[in-house]
Structure 1
Amino acid sequence: MGYLKIFFGNTAILIAVAYLANLIYKHTISNASVGIKKASWVILAIFAGWISTLFGYNLDDHVIFDLRFVPLIISTLAYPRPITLILIGIGTGLTRLTFGVTEAAVAGMLNLFILGVICAALSYWVRRSTLSIVNQGLIVILIVNLMNAINIMALGVIPVEEYIREIMPITFPAGLILSILFSLIIRDFQLGLLRNEQIQHANEQLSAQTEELHKNKLDLEERANQLMMASQFKSEFLANMSHELRTPLNSIINLSQLIEENDDLLTEAEIREYAAIIHRSGDELLMIISDILDLSKVEAGRLDIINEELNVSEIPDLLAMQFAVTAKQKGLDFNISMDENVPPMIHSDPHRVQQILRNLLSNAFKFTKTGYVSLHIHEQEGGEGDAVQHWLVFDVEDSGIGIAPEKHAMIFEAFQQADRTTSRKYGGTGLGLSISNDLARLLGGFISMESKEEEGSRFSLYLPLEVDSE
């Protein structure tokens, strides 16, 4: 009966330790990292083995019977990791020496070392087995209790015949039953912890989903506002576009009708003047239609870029001829300069490059009342190390009305302008910068801008420049 009393006492102590550990876990380390949780488990298992030995049954002055191997069984099922189990086995074995270094203490230490290795081997099977947790637990309990009995007999501290005849018939079945009982209790604790963790995890997921829904709601509201603004901008754009289309169309229709009805009464000079107006109106109408078609092609990804040789040295003369009259009519200084180190030829799309520069210069002249408009062509490097990029830069600078900083990004978007009254005051569709920006990207470059309100603007077209290794 002494063995049973001690084994039941051991079980009660282990249950108390497990309960206290459960409380400590909930209120201290439940939110700790995985490494801290495993280290805490190892320390707890070793402590449980030590306290089981402390309240064990003293067969004589040196031999102690207890359930110090039970924490190993629980660890095999709860944390089936070989290193963890070997550490628990070694630690629990070493605690046996705290009760005195004797032959029985050394044998008890070796017994726990061996059981730790056996449990480490069993952990491989536990992780790969398809059996239920109950069946796994019964097999582990049986093997550990059996190996514990074999080790006691093999280490020879107690005579084998005495152990088999008097001790084992009581301690072995009692150890099995109490190991199973304790494992069921710990299993219940484990399931409780698992349920708490699942509830906590579910709460965290719900919080994350709620936050995500809130973000999605804000995104949807932002997109709804953007769609509403886009719709408003498109409506204003269409209203402006109808005006821009009607003006040249009305000129063409009215003047051609006037020529048709009064052909005999008009002088040759008047006919030439009307024909010139009709021609300019047709050009304006063609430019508007071209802008709309280019924008639709860019958005559809169907605008073709033709890379061929572009004569950079011809660009100043071509642009000077196109804008010299405009500069003279508005009384503006128009200067074009080019650095000497600029290569005379590059590979790009000549038509699209000239289209971008015409758009930038047209805007510069449109929004400049007094002062100057200039074009400066130069070479520039950007980046670091192997990522250095060489650019051919076209700086279009003016002393016009400028653009407020908060509206810099807006003016490159289709259907949007820095000032919605701009198109009414200065004319134009407002698509030039948007198309130019898209064309620059298709050419492998980009457009940058520096501008302050009432202090003028500088738009820079950057085109990639291949430099010979020589």
Structure 2
Amino acid sequence: MEYLKIFCMNTALLISVAYIANLIYKHMITHAPEPVKQASWVVLSIFAGWVNIFFGYRLDEHVIFDLRFLPLIISTIAFPQPFSLIIIGVGIGLSRLIFGMNEAAVAGVLNLSILGFVCAGLSFWVRRTPATIMVKSLIVIMAVNLMNAVNITVFGVIPEQEYITKILPVTLPAGLALSMLFALIIRDFQLDLQRTVQVVRANELLSAQAEELHKNKIVLEERAKQLMMASQFKSEFLANMSHELRTPLNSIINLSQIIEDSDEGLSREEITEYGAIIHRSGGDLLSLINDILDLSKVEAGKLDVVHEELNVSEIPEMLALQFTVAAKQKGLDFNITLSEDVPHVIHSDPQRVQQILRNLLSNALKFTMNGFVSLNIRVVEKPEGPALRRWVVFEVQDSGIGIAADKHAVIFEAFQQADSSISRKYGGTGLGLSISSDLAKLLGGYITLSSKEGQGSLFSLYLPL
């Protein structure tokens, strides 16, 4: 009867230890790294075994009966790690030496060490078998209790006949029953811990989702703002486009109507003048349509460039023929310089290079009321990785209205200008710089801008040598 009392007391103590451990786990080491959790479990199991020995039943001065092997059973079921189970078994066994060094204590150390290795072997089966947790628990409980009885029979100091006939019939069934009861209680604790962990993870997941939703909301708001701006820019572009189309079309229609209805009432000089205006208006329309087509080809990825020999020395002469008269009409100084170190021939697309330079020079002349417009062609070296790379640079500089710093990136986007009022004052669709930037990239180069509002602008086209 004393065995049953002590075993029940051991179980009650273990339940108390398990409850305290459950609280510590919830509030202190739930988020700890896995090695810390395993180390904490090992220490707790050894401590629980020591508590069982401390409150065990003393058969005589040296022999103690208790359920010290119970933490080892629970560890095998809950944390089936072979090395940890060996440490727990040996640790509980060594804790028996605290209560005195004698033959019974040595037998106790040997018993728990053997049980530790037995549980380590069982842990391999526990981790691999598809059986339910209840089946695993029953087999582990029976194996450990039976092995404990065998060890006491073989290594114990109690006479074999006395142990088998008087003690074993009571302690073995009691140990099995209380082991199963404690396993059920620990299983309930474990389920509660799992639910706690799941709740914590669910909260973390919800927080992460809420944060992600907030970020997505910001992104969507930004995209909505960009769409509104794009819609506004396109509306302005269409308004500008209608104006740019209407002006030359009206000139062509009105002047051709005058010529048609003149009944030879117009002089030769008037017809020639009207014809010239019609020709210029047609050229303006063609240039506008070409810009729109080029933009659509670039956006569709279908604009091809042809790399061939480009005679750089011919560029100043060609551009001078096109822009000198326009500069004189506005009273501007127009200069083109070509550095001596610039190679006479480079490999690029002559048509596209001239198109970019015409766009840059046209803008410079358009937005410069007095002062100068210049084109300087030179060679520069820039570091690219560990080496230097050589570039030919076409610098278009003017003393015009300049561009505010916050508009430097905007003006290279399609349908956009530094100020929507500019298109009304100076004309234009806002496509020239966008097309020029895209063409420069297709040629392997790029365009840079240096400008301050009211202090002129410097556009630089870099092409690789």
Q: TM-score, normalised by structure 1?
A: 0.91
| Contact kept? 2:81, 2:120, Cα under 8 Å | yes
Distance 2:339 2:115 in 1: 86
* 1:145-224 → structure 2 map (5 Å cutoff): 145-224=145-224
Structure 1 counterpart SS, 2:273: helix
User: Partners of 2:141 and 2:383 in 1: how far apart?
Assistant: 72
Please give the alpha-carbon distance, in whole angstroms, between the structure 2 residues aligned to 1:338 and 1:116.
Answer: 90
The change in CA–CA distance for 1:412 and 1:97 in structure 2 (over 3 A counts) is farther
Q: Deviations for 1:271-312, whole angstroms, at most 9, x for unmatched residues?
A: 333222222211111111111111112222222233333333
Kindly state the Cα deviation for residue 40 of structure 1 after the two structures are TM-superposed: 2.0
**Pairwise mapping of residues 319-338 of structure 1 onto structure 2 (< 5 A)?**
319-338=319-338
CA deviation after TM superposition for structure 1 residue 248, in Å:
1.1
Question: Cα gap change, 1:29/1:354 in structure 2, threshold over 3 Å: closer, same or farther?
Answer: same
Corresponding position of 1:139: 139
Identify the residue that residue 64 of structure 2 maps to in structure 1.
64
Indicate conservation of the 8 Å contact 2:402/2:452, yes or no.
yes
Q: In structure 1, how many angstroms separate the alpha carbons of the residues matched to 2:87 and 2:307? A: 71
Opposite residue 109 of structure 2, the aligned amino acid is: M
Deviations 1:251-279 (A, max 9, x none): 22222232333373433333333222222
* DSSP-derived class of the 2:309 partner: strand
1:250 and 2:250 correspond: yes
Equivalent runs, 1:299-448 vs 2, <5 Å = 299-376=299-376, 377-385=378-386, 390-448=390-448
Residues of 2 paired with 1:181 and 1:136: CA distance?
Answer: 15
The DSSP-based 3-state class of the residue aligned with 1:439 is helix
CA contact (8 A) 2:349 2:443 kept: yes
- The ranges of structure 1 where at least 4 consecutive aligned residues each deviate by more than 6 angstroms after the TM superposition are none
Look up the match of 1:21: 21
Q: What is the rounded CA distance, in whole Å, between the counterparts of 1:344 and 1:463 in structure 2? A: 14
* Contact 1:447–1:462 (CA under 8 A) maintained in structure 2: yes
Report which stretch shifted further, 436-445 or 135-144: 436-445
SS of aligned partner of 2:420: coil
Find the aligned partners of 2:108 and 2:390 in 1 and give their Cα distance: 78
Distance change >3 Å, CA 123–CA 310, structure 1 → 2: farther
What residue identity is the alignment partner of 1:308?
E
- Amino acid of the residue matched to residue 225 of structure 1? K
The SS at the match of 1:380 is strand
Matched pairs, number: 464
Conserved 8 A contact 2:374-2:397: yes
- Contact between 2:379 and 2:390, CA under 8 Å: does it hold in 1? no
Cα distance change on mapping 1:75 and 1:356 into 2, 3 Å: farther
SS for the counterpart of 2:403 is: coil
Deviation of the 1:340 alpha carbon: 4.0
Contact 1:391–1:464 (Cα < 8 Å) also in 2 = yes
Unaligned runs of 5+ residues in structure 1 are 466-470
CA contact (8 A) 1:380 1:393 kept: no
Which string of whole-angstrom CA distances, capped at 9 and with x for unpartnered residues, describes residues 91-132 of structure 1?
333323323333433333333333333323322322222111
Once residues 129 and 455 of structure 2 are traced to their aligned partners in structure 1, the CA distance between those partners, rounded to angstroms, is 78
Moved more, 332-341 or 347-356: 332-341
TM norm structure 2: 0.92
Specify the alignment match of 1:468 in structure 2: none
Kindly state the Cα deviation for residue 191 of structure 1 after the two structures are TM-superposed.
0.9
Q: Which stretch has the larger CA shift, 271-280 or 329-338? A: 329-338
Deviates more, 1:237-246 or 1:193-202: 193-202
SS in 2 for 1:421: helix
Unaligned 5+ segments in structure 2 are none
For the aligned residue pairs, the C-alpha RMSD in angstroms reads: 2.4
Structure 1 residues 40, 262: closer, same or farther in 2, change over 3 A?
same
